[in-house]
Structure 1
Amino acid sequence: MAESFDLLMDVSPKKLAWNFLVHVVRLWGGRIQASVPKALVRRWNDNIDEFKMYKMSNFIVVDKREKTKTSMNRWTLNFSHRTVVLLVENPTFPLQAFRLTQISELLNADRINDSQLIDIMGEVVGKEDPKELITSKGKETKRLAILVEDLE
């Protein structure tokens, strides 16, 4: 009997026993965001690699409506002590890691949602000096602006 998996479009906080087949694109973001609590980072740090496929199950689903969104999905999957992650040796579907956006499309856009992750291809031709910032939560950070040239 074939193993069954849940669909990301069905995610809700109504259950814990989610069962997904996923490609890990970025360890800090993706098409649905997953979060690993600080106490569990050491457990998963060396066991999950970018651009590999995994079977993942047993997440806590949280509504991230109030938080910064890095994906269009409303939900984030939080790892717990019960989360299971198994490497898939022979992936069953191709990895589509990037959603490339033309630089001209960004330049001509009326508005760009700066909380969404986008992928562009270009050559980095310069950078500005890092700027000191304080986040809305009072945390000190830096922002580095880079200059990208369209290769077309």
Structure 2
Amino acid sequence: MALATDIFEDVGPKKLGWYFNVYLIRLWEEPDKINEKETNSINMVIQDVKDIQVQGPISKYLIKQWRDKFKEFKIYTMSNFIVADTRPRAQNFCKKTTVQPVEVPYFELRPFVMKDIPDLLHAESVDSYDGANIVSKVVGKQEYREVVTSKGIKTKRIADTIKDIE
């Protein structure tokens, strides 16, 4: 029998003692911007019992503690996160974070949260669609163009035209 757990929609910055049962859906390492051979952070997308997905970053100074401890599509109990106002619904690992694998899952894994294209187009911000998956068909594309980001970084962007496959 599973213990009572918190859910992501109740998360706020005034508490450290969160206790979640989550599926780890995706796991990746972010390289350091100066030295690409070093890892700057480990990031993961996790899903709670209510099918809400959030990002759970592990900062550079905690990588040794957590590297090789996780597998995608496995369920874990995770507790003691820091939640910052600046990153809503993101659980940041800290020294006191604990993670234990769960042998017998008691809720269903739903790695894809499908959203309709019109819903995305009418969203107030892209942040409201963190973790959303959209299935579409690319029906056209423009040539790439060079742009400068808000942080002054030169990059290239390409615009695609997509069509809802329904």
Q: Decide: shared fold, TM above 0.5.
A: yes
SS at match of 2:150: coil
Question: How far, CA to CA, are the matches of 2:9 and 2:123 in structure 1?
Answer: 26
Number of equivalent positions:
142
Instruction: Give the percent of matched residue pairs that are identical in Structure 1 and Structure 2.
Output: 41
Q: Which moved more, 1:45-54 or 1:121-130?
A: 121-130
Segments of structure 1 that go 5 or more residues without pairing to the other structure are 68-73
> Which of 50, 55, 59 does residue 72 from structure 2 map onto?
50
Asked if residue 41 in structure 1 is aligned to residue 63 in structure 2, the reply is yes
In structure 2, list runs of 5 or more residues that go unmatched: 28-43, 47-52
Checking the alignment, whether the CA contact within 8 Å between 1:132 and 1:140 is kept in structure 2 is yes
Distance in 1 between residues matched to 2:103 and 2:143, nearest whole Å: 44
C-alpha distance in 2 between matches for 1:129 and 1:45: 40
What per-residue deviation string (whole Å, max 9, x for no partner) do you get for residues 69-92 of structure 1?
xxxxx3421101221222223211
Shift of 1:122: 3.2
Q: Structure 1 47/106 Cα, relative in aligned 2: closer, same or farther at 3 Å?
A: same
Q: Residues 112, 132 of structure 1: CA spacing in aligned structure 2 closer, same or farther, 3 A cutoff?
A: farther
Aligned residue identity for 1:82: K
2:21 alignment counterpart: 21
CA contact (8 A) 1:132 1:141 kept: yes
User: Does structure 1 residue 98 correspond to structure 2 residue 112?
Assistant: yes
Structure with the larger strand share: 2
Q: Counterpart in 2 of 1:3?
A: 3
The aligned residue for residue 88 of structure 1 is: 102
CA deviation map 1:100-125 (0-9, x unaligned): 1234x358x44563343331223456
Q: 1:38 to 1:145 in 2, by over 3 A?
A: farther
* Root mean square deviation, CA, Å: 3.1
Question: Are residues 136 and 7 of structure 1, via their aligned partners in 2, closer, same or farther at CA, if it must alter by over 3 Å?
Answer: same
Rate the CA distance shift 1:106–1:19 in 2: closer, same or farther, 3 A: closer
Q: What is the aligned partner in structure 1 of residue 126 from structure 2?
A: 114
Shift, 1:13, TM fit: 2.5
Please identify, of 139-148 and 89-98, the stretch whose mean Cα deviation from structure 2 is larger.
139-148
TM-score (norm 2): 0.64
